[in-house]
A = this chain, B = another copy of it.
Amino acid sequence: MPTASASLPVAPRKSFRETQFVVRAEAILNATNHLLASKGYEEMAMDDIAAEVGIAKGSLYKHFESKEALAAAVMVRLLDRTRDALEALPAEQPAIERLRELLRWTLRERLAGGVPHLPSTSRALRDSLMANRHYIDQLMSLSERIGTLIKQARADGALRADLSDEFILYSFYARSCDPTLDYLKSGDSAADSAVVEQMISSCFDGLGPGR
């Protein structure tokens, strides 16, 4: 058997350098995600990121051309992972259950140190993302998938008829980013789970005792 790295265009082996480059980009994204979640966009300095990754500040710019681009990459990755989580749900599950599962996934993600979906923590970040084609594409794509779920759930009679799809979609995103989670999270995983379940329940069933 000939070596795979011979002359065929198949399986183009990455050099050590190339691999390291990708690994490092990943590390930068992780550090940024962490700092973005803990300090917020403005308070996160490029120096902080470099320090957390353990590289020189200048090296950051080999991977991402600006702070905005770096933050956008983190948000795009979150959207991608959210879409994957959504795709991974069993198709035979009722739409409303999948919506609940997706909200659960999102809230757990935040408990694990992730950034909320809505960039509502910073006007500057929000504006920058809204001007980012790639981000907008991914957001539209995800919203379309969630929109489909909402339509299905509505057809199943699992959503209120007097609320528009749009209203439900935005509310869903808002609940994904609900600050209640930050205020009530304790670090105790059992207690945190209970909070997540209450948030899901209050989202779909409300705070009142039912109609």
Binding site for B on A (CB under 8 A): 39-40, 42-43, 96, 118, 120-124, 157-163, 166-168, 170-174, 177-180, 183-184, 195, 198-199, 202-211
Contacts and interface: CB of A to CB of B under 8 A. Distances in A.
B120 A43 contact: no
B170 A208 contact: no
B206 A157 contact: no
A118 to B, nearest CB: 6
A113 to B, nearest CB: 15
A123 B208 contact: no
Contact of A123 (B40, B162, B167): B40
Given A180-B170, A202-B206, A120 B118 contact: no
A167 B197 CA distance: 12
Given A42-B42, A123-B40, A210-B211, A174 B163 contact: no
B122 A42 contact: yes
Nearest to A208: B204
Given A171-B202, A174-B178, A158 B209 contact: yes
Given A163-B207, A167-B195, A210-B211, 14 more contacts: A40-B122, A42-B122, A42-B124, A120-B179, A121-B121, A160-B206, A162-B198, A171-B180, A171-B199, A171-B207, A174-B180, A202-B206, A203-B206, A205-B211
B209 A206 contact: no
A127 to B, nearest CB: 9
Contact of A210 (B43, B168, B184, B210): B210
B121 A120 contact: yes
A198 B39 CA distance: 33
A210 B13 CA distance: 57
A163 B197 CA distance: 11
